[in-house]
Structure 1
């Protein structure tokens, strides 16, 4: 007889393969890991929040779905398995147990067929020893179930006789195993042997209906996981919007604050960390606005003081200048009316008065730039003639080489261009080494000087009367028909390079050469210059829409490059506000 169902023993499911749902769950987990690694490459906070929410939701959904699938799989397979095994045991007791000790093949065949009619619908194979001592096999379905379908490990376990102990009262047990056929159909195989020399029976039951149910469950869990992922993404989007909206407002407010709108404030609502950050921003903006207002007030007060002081100094300076001119005439007179003992003091007074007068004029010019009241009076000028006039007016003809071609016209303010040139050339003569070379070229072109003669003195560039204003070209006049005076070409920029042959500018001084009142040598604070010349030159270049740069030449000496547009009236309005003709200037 067979053992009781509660005493049967399981064999190891070594041949069982993972189901389709398990493979799908594994693929989903691998995809989640790839998504997690890819999220590290994103820099957007919104994307990172969505990916983190999605990864958490996917991990939770996959874990919950995997646990639910595993529990349901075990429950479904165990229920089907127990029902089949119980029915097989019962059939072995009731039908195989009444067979004679040496049955015939027909008897085994009939019994196997009767056992297969059980409610569980499984195939049965019975083995017994025949009358002549040979093995007799009876099969309910010869085509579907043969001895070759039974794993060797299961046959060995069924045929093995167990020793009888206090806990084991049966020499033979019922063993089962789940296998997968070549067509991926799962089967349950079980076998047992009747006690007392009865036949050995094997059972084969298809678990395909249960597998289909489990596949449907896996699909349902996968759909639920996808819906959970979509819901997590929507939730992350909502959370990101809630979190990032104040951050975006803070960024926009910081940008406005950086643009100079110091009255920018954020609306504060709530008591969370973002609200506290908004309060901190408002406090910082308020403190910054107050500090900037105080600094602006002090700066305005300083500018007003310099302007007022300059204006107040002009009246006594006018009187002092008149006196010094008289004293200078007396010094130069042949009569010699000035006492030789006080002549050095008189000359010192005359020179210092001139220096003080120049300083006051420079301060007045600086205050115009600071107040934005510097004006441009534009005219068409020939650059070569303008440079020649500047050099000739200051008696620098022997110390300066001009490399410029006539006919390069530009619409600029002649007076302010003269100030720029005088400061650049004078600075080169005073602090650099001779000779000082001035070259003119167009933007992107070579230095022009073929007709003027490179390296020749300034007067060789053409006849220019000393102290004469530059020739003004009427823009409304028609072009000269015979070509003697061609139309002015205004494309591109004009570059004027002033180069000396001195020791150059020290690298620590180079960034400060255009600073006001800056002097390279602290040991010579009483130098002739006021430290405002290059600063004023740069401001004049700016209101023209141009620029001045300073550098050291590879061949030695310093190089100052003035870049001006050919037509200031067409320059960038942001740099040169106003209208053509008489233009309102402003300092950048």
Structure 2
């Protein structure tokens, strides 16, 4: 038994996941199991009680009839024998006693005239002798008790159920009142045992049928209870997928119907709330887009004026009033900053509205990065570690925006030198990997998760700086629209590292994404 239990524990430990799913995740299974256990307990209890009551009734009825007949035979026939009967007389009387209606076997024991113990056997049970009678029963039969007002006889009738040769028997013994032979009786209880076995089989079959019936009833009850729950689960999944118009059909007045009504009310409120938020979001995007568009016209005029002023500063340096020159330079720088902010806002609104589009071309990545550095006079401040010949199908303008933001951020917030490394990678498809690393203090750990957030600035004490807080966010959006990504980290050797990876062929990347989506839908 110990080894069997150990094997079961090992099997359960090796397959804990499967057992857990079978046992705990299915409400239907749990309902069926609970119904079956309740029905099994009730059926077994009822069958056990019925079997015990019927067993006692059958055995008691048979036992009482046999003992009553045996006691009567002992008084009538054994009591008629002389005080010292012979063996023939005992044998004859035993045979007569065995011929009663109960058909039991009898052994009579007495002493003849010479004082010798003689036995009389009815012969009905082959091999039954006094030695087959339990010793405790013989001792009780031969024990003489004092006669009193409460006990009128010195000897009494005693009985016991025993198993002889694999068959149940009733064994009894007593002495003849007022002296005489001792008689022992044995009665086979095999017919009663067969009847009780048949009863046990019948009760077992009834228990099995009750168990099956309870399982079927549990299945029907589970279906009645779980169908609304399943519908609720399906509706919740649809709601989670964004189908906010999902509603449940409500019928009845029970708790499940109340739950369905509550779900419908919550879904309706959520749909209204999301619609209001979407409307406000659309209004905000339209406002930003309209504002940016409206600002471009005056900004164009202001930019033209500031360019003239800047040319005059460069051409007539020293001749302008020293009190006016700082103001002019401030206007020029702030106008550029405002112009960049408007352009960034318009780019952000295009991304949010989903109208940003790629204009793909086969480009040499290193040449494109060199052109970005040259256009912004960064060639002397940046080290480029790459060989020409790395080609990719990208949008050149958007790659220029990404690199300008990453390199400008490194130059502004990092430390020299700023190094750019370009390489090709075949992991998970052909792609270009570009690393921009500075040698500054690095990015604080609490800032690192937010570097790509819009309008996020590391220092709250410096809300106004040269940047708008949109550059890295726009760079990340441009990487995403290519099917790539940008990550930020701190180098163990010091400084921050921004890693950009882009697919070398956008067309192949789109086909691979569509294939994976189709497999997921299948």
TM-score of the pair, normalised by structure 2:
0.91
Q: Give the corresponding residue for 1:30.
A: none
Q: Give the corresponding residue for 1:158.
A: 141
Residue pair 1:494, 1:566 contacting (<8 A) in 2 also:
yes
Q: Give the corresponding residue for 1:252.
A: 234
| More moved, 405-414 vs 45-54 | 405-414
The CA RMSD over aligned residues, in Å, is 1.9
Superposed counterparts of 1:166-205, under 5 Å: 166-183=149-166, 185-205=167-187
Q: CA deviation at 1:491?
A: 4.6
523, 527, 533: which one aligns with 2:471: 533
Q: Give the corresponding residue for 1:548.
A: 486
Q: Distance in 1 between matches of 2:20 and 2:275?
A: 49
- Secondary structure of 1:376's partner? coil
Q: Give the corresponding residue for 1:496.
A: 434
Q: Distance in 2 between matches of 1:274 and 1:554?
A: 59
Q: CA deviation at 1:575?
A: 7.8
Q: Judging changes above 3 Å, is the alpha-carbon distance between structure 1 residues 52 and 40 closer, same or farther for their aligned structure 2 residues?
A: farther
Q: Give the corresponding residue for 2:456.
A: 518
Q: Distance in 1 between matches of 2:21 and 2:318?
A: 95
1:46 aligns with 2:44: no
Q: Give the corresponding residue for 2:308.
A: 326
| More moved, 42-51 vs 309-318 | 42-51
1:293 aligns with 2:231: no
Q: CA deviation at 1:442?
A: 2.6
1:435 aligns with 2:373: no
Work out the number of aligned pairs and report it.
Answer: 495
The structure whose residues are more often helix, as a share, is 2
Q: Distance in 2 between matches of 1:493 and 1:147?
A: 103
Q: Distance in 2 between matches of 1:276 and 1:299?
A: 34
- Structure number with the bigger relative contact order (C-alpha 8 A, sep ≥ 6) is 1
Residue pair 1:39, 1:51 contacting (<8 A) in 2 also:
no
Residue pair 2:401, 2:475 contacting (<8 A) in 1 also:
yes
Q: CA deviation at 1:574?
A: 10
Q: Judging changes above 3 Å, is the alpha-carbon distance between structure 1 residues 280 and 394 closer, same or farther for their aligned structure 2 residues?
A: same
Q: Distance in 1 between matches of 2:114 and 2:441?
A: 127
The one-character-per-residue Cα deviations of 1:284-325 (angstroms, maximum 9, x if unpaired) are 111111111111111111111111110110011011111111
Q: Give the corresponding residue for 2:335.
A: 353
Q: Judging changes above 3 Å, is the alpha-carbon distance between structure 1 residues 335 and 88 closer, same or farther for their aligned structure 2 residues?
A: closer
- Secondary structure of 1:507's partner? coil
Q: CA deviation at 1:38?
A: 10
Superposed counterparts of 1:339-488, under 5 Å: 339-443=321-425
1:558 aligns with 2:496: yes
Q: Give the corresponding residue for 2:55.
A: 73
Q: Judging changes above 3 Å, is the alpha-carbon distance between structure 1 residues 218 and 386 closer, same or farther for their aligned structure 2 residues?
A: same
Q: Judging changes above 3 Å, is the alpha-carbon distance between structure 1 residues 39 and 569 closer, same or farther for their aligned structure 2 residues?
A: closer
Q: CA deviation at 1:573?
A: 6.9
Q: Give the corresponding residue for 1:468.
A: none
Q: Distance in 1 between matches of 2:203 and 2:214?
A: 16
Q: Distance in 2 between matches of 1:211 and 1:268?
A: 60
Q: Judging changes above 3 Å, is the alpha-carbon distance between structure 1 residues 549 and 155 closer, same or farther for their aligned structure 2 residues?
A: same
Q: Distance in 2 between matches of 1:339 and 1:437?
A: 42
Q: What stretches of structure 1 of length at least 5 have no aligned partner?
A: 1-36, 446-489, 577-588
Q: Distance in 1 between matches of 2:381 and 2:209?
A: 87
Q: Judging changes above 3 Å, is the alpha-carbon distance between structure 1 residues 259 and 103 closer, same or farther for their aligned structure 2 residues?
A: same
The one-character-per-residue Cα deviations of 1:562-587 (angstroms, maximum 9, x if unpaired) are 121111122247989xxxxxxxxxxx
- Secondary structure of 2:154's partner? coil
Moved over 6 A (4+): 37-40, 573-576
Q: Distance in 1 between matches of 2:96 and 2:360?
A: 121
Q: Give the corresponding residue for 1:107.
A: 89
Q: Distance in 2 between matches of 1:441 and 1:212?
A: 91
Q: Distance in 2 between matches of 1:417 and 1:186?
A: 99
Q: Judging changes above 3 Å, is the alpha-carbon distance between structure 1 residues 62 and 491 closer, same or farther for their aligned structure 2 residues?
A: closer
Q: CA deviation at 1:444?
A: 5.6
Q: Distance in 2 between matches of 1:131 and 1:439?
A: 131
1:206 aligns with 2:144: no
Q: Give the corresponding residue for 2:251.
A: 269
Q: CA deviation at 1:211?
A: 0.2
The one-character-per-residue Cα deviations of 1:497-525 (angstroms, maximum 9, x if unpaired) are 11111111111111111111111111122
Q: CA deviation at 1:41?
A: 4.4
The one-character-per-residue Cα deviations of 1:71-115 (angstroms, maximum 9, x if unpaired) are 110111111111211221121122111111000111111111111
Q: Distance in 1 between matches of 2:319 and 2:380?
A: 35
